[in-house]
Amino acid sequence: MGPPSGNGSEPVSPEEAVLRRIEAFRRKAPRLRDDFINSAHGAGGKASAALVDGVFLQAFANDALAPLTDGATLTLPSGERVAFSTDSSVVNPLRFPGGSIGHLAVHGTVNDVAMMGAVPTWVSAAFILEDGFAVVDLRGIVADMAEAAVNAGVSIVTGDTKVVSKGAADGLYISTAGVGVIPADVHLDARAVRPGDRVLVSGTIGDHGVAVMLARGELGIEADIVSDTAPLGGLVQTLLAAAPGTRWLRDPTRGGVATVCNELARAAEVAVILNEADLPVRPAVNGACEILGIDPLYVANEGKLVAIVAPEEADAALAAVRAHPLGADAALVGEVRDDPPGMVVINTGFGGNRIVDMLAGDPLPRIC
């Protein structure tokens, strides 16, 4: 097969093909209209998409980057495929109910690799430390990372350390990258999603974002809510064993379930229809969100996944995920349709429906 053509007859270069795919994405993505960076650009919603499109995608255009997934799929000279992903953790506070920045640093990268269908294996870690940060606190966070790596089945094999002046890093930032091998029979792609496919969520949503926000103590709200931060590699392998026809995976971190469903709808040019009554939300999380005036669909998770599964495998997928320790509260929460393309719609408990757009703004800053 020759290179793609521009008008049905004239071939174009691979570089031109990549640029055309990026241009097609740009037509669907929000445009960058800001002159300065603000917190919304890091929230995972419309502003983040506009920043990626308007700055990074244009500068770094290449075939591996173009799909804009949780990581890059790279083919080695041997023919094996690997998933490669990178992440940064800037959470405030550094410790919160259920975890710490150390847990998040490992889990965030491991989970991004797992969402590519890969088995996470190796992780790197880079630390940006503020002058005056207590060594005893650093030891504790590094111990959390070591614990998280053991639980995830990965090794932290390389890293870097930098120290910046007081006030320049809010104590500690951590950047990680991860690599894992993709089994030969695993092929996850938004383009494989079809009308009739089912939407599966592996558990209750919004736990992490609300736990971190309440841990800051600024709102005067007391609730028994802990972060769900956890490594999802084992859960993914359980799901794929039970439902080998799984189309697509994503962990709904910044921007929550609503944002990743919107990303899928746009990438696959399908409609994602969610059922409000089926969404698993803890009463305490729902109550806190009502007080804060936010929708749990937009709140970050750090130990959950969203899967698009074939309709004939949906029951098997749900049963397998529920049997896993991290998936006891899993639920089938919607389906894929062909209309309205590129949109997410939720059927409400009142018998109506509403459009669920990508996150606008940053309701819960510095949560991961």
The amino acid present at 148, given as its one-letter code, is: A
Q: Is residue 48's pLDDT more than 90?
A: no
Q: Which domains does the chain have, with CATH numbers?
A: 14-68 (no CATH), 70-186 (3.30.1330.10), 190-355 (3.90.650.10)
Which residues, 6 or more positions from 325, have their beta carbon under 8 angstroms from its beta carbon? none
Q: Is residue 6's pLDDT more than 50?
A: no
What pLDDT does 220 receive?
A: 77
Provide Rg for the chain, Cα atoms. 20
pLDDT tier at 3 (50, 70, 90 boundaries)? very low
- Across the beta sheet with 306-309, what order do the strands follow? 248-250, 306-309, 198-201, 331-337, 271-275, 344-347, 353-355
Of the candidates 320, 322, 338, the one whose C-alpha atom is nearest the C-alpha of residue 330 is: 322
Alpha helices in the chain (DSSP H): 14-28, 46-51, 58-59, 101-114, 135-152, 207-215, 233-242, 256-268, 283-292, 314-323
Mean pLDDT is lowest, of 61-70, 181-190, 249-258, 329-338, for 61-70
Q: For residues 71 and 113, is the Cβ–Cβ distance under 8 A?
A: yes
Q: Is residue 189's pLDDT more than 80?
A: yes
What pLDDT does 286 receive?
A: 96
Q: Is residue 217's pLDDT more than 90?
A: no
Characterize the bridge pairing of strands 248-250 and 172-182.
Answer: unpaired
Collapsing DSSP to helix, strand or coil, 293 comes out as coil
Q: For residues 176 and 157, is the Cβ–Cβ distance under 8 A?
A: no
Q: Residues 117-166: pLDDT tens digits?
A: 999 999 999 999 999 999 999 999 999 999 999 999 999 999 999 999 99
Q: Is residue 2's pLDDT more than 60?
A: no
Highest mean pLDDT among 64-78, 173-187, 347-361: 173-187
Q: Residues 105-129: pLDDT tens digits?
A: 999 999 999 999 999 999 999 999 9
Q: Is residue 27's pLDDT more than 60?
A: no
Q: Is residue 29's pLDDT more than 90?
A: no
Mean pLDDT is lowest, of 29-38, 211-220, 259-268, 321-330, for 29-38
What pLDDT does 23 receive?
A: 55
